[in-house]
Structure 1
Amino acid sequence: MRVIETEIPAVKRVIPKRHGDERGWFSEVFRVDQLAEGGITSAFVQDNQSFSAPAGTLRGLHFQTPPAAQAKLVRVLAGAILDVAVDIRHGSPTFGRYVAVRLDAETGEQLFVPHGFAHGFCTLEPNTMVAYKVDAYYSPANDRSIAWNDPDIGIDWPVSEAEAILSGKDKTAPRLASLEKLF
């Protein structure tokens, strides 16, 4: 397993090694020791899974506020996504910037999204299943979001506003500029 920093070093790509033969392949997708060597020391407490039937389903940008802030380790079990992490740490030199990585079931690559980042993804294929570990339990009182299409962030999503399939919550999320200093 390799852990690689992205253009925002706190966000990391995790690339598990696959061992294959004529039957298929085997991979260790989660190893605390190897993640720690790469700087990921979160104690994950909950696994989440989402299924999106149509391509173009957009979920995000979501985060939880302290003391229930969540770090996430995201991977795709079926299909493919554009996975995005936005730095919402006020005072950070990368505040408002984002990392976008294609994750798919074929390669098994994962993305680590630390505390202080909003997270979202857009499905690139139909019938996409995403799994992610979090290091804090879901807390409705701490659940927040920011607009997926905020022009101040400028994410290059693979769908237009007219094509994006969104939840009601995601359609009305506030812009980053209105976010109080939480991180």
Structure 2
Amino acid sequence: MILPAAYVERLEAWAQITQLNADLLSHDSATATLQAWCDQNGGGQKIRALRVRGQDKAASSEDREALGAGADEPLVYRRVQLACGDQILSEADNWYRPALLTPEMNRALEETETPFGVVVRPLNFRRRTLSTSYLFRPLPLNWEGRPAPVRIYRGRLATPKDILQHRAVLVTGEGRPFSLVVETYTEAVLVKP
């Protein structure tokens, strides 16, 4: 059976989205996962964290609870776009406990384009994924058990800007939560032939 090109394109997109999700779930550092993507697809450029200012968000009581932070403990909010060259691969909202970082780490997060995962690597952190959401499904639910549709997929696949979202807490090697991230991955991570 020869599958229509539009259907194959959807299969390829879904395979890439689920592979990215699996890679993120199996590694402690989303930055390292994106760096591996960039090494393979972006000519080996370094991932940069482009700071987005003026869109600060207060942490909710649920966020503070996930971080183990009391109502009076200062948290820092940092929103970035993680870029490989000129491609924005993800946008991340990050609330973190500055008291658990070194002064050098806090300074680097405020003043440089170094991604969070690189800056805090000396903490030997682990990632605890709280939720994963597919924001784009190029194929219908339960597509695996159905025959490939011949007529309904015509033309190029139109993808939305955002395709996958993760919410996770980073904990130190000693198990102390120090960062809550909401990462939204963009269509730029889909490699089109």
Q: Please tell me whether Structure 1 or Structure 2 has the larger radius of gyration of its CA atoms.
A: 2
Which structure has greater helix proportion? 2
Q: TM-score, normalised by structure 1?
A: 0.27
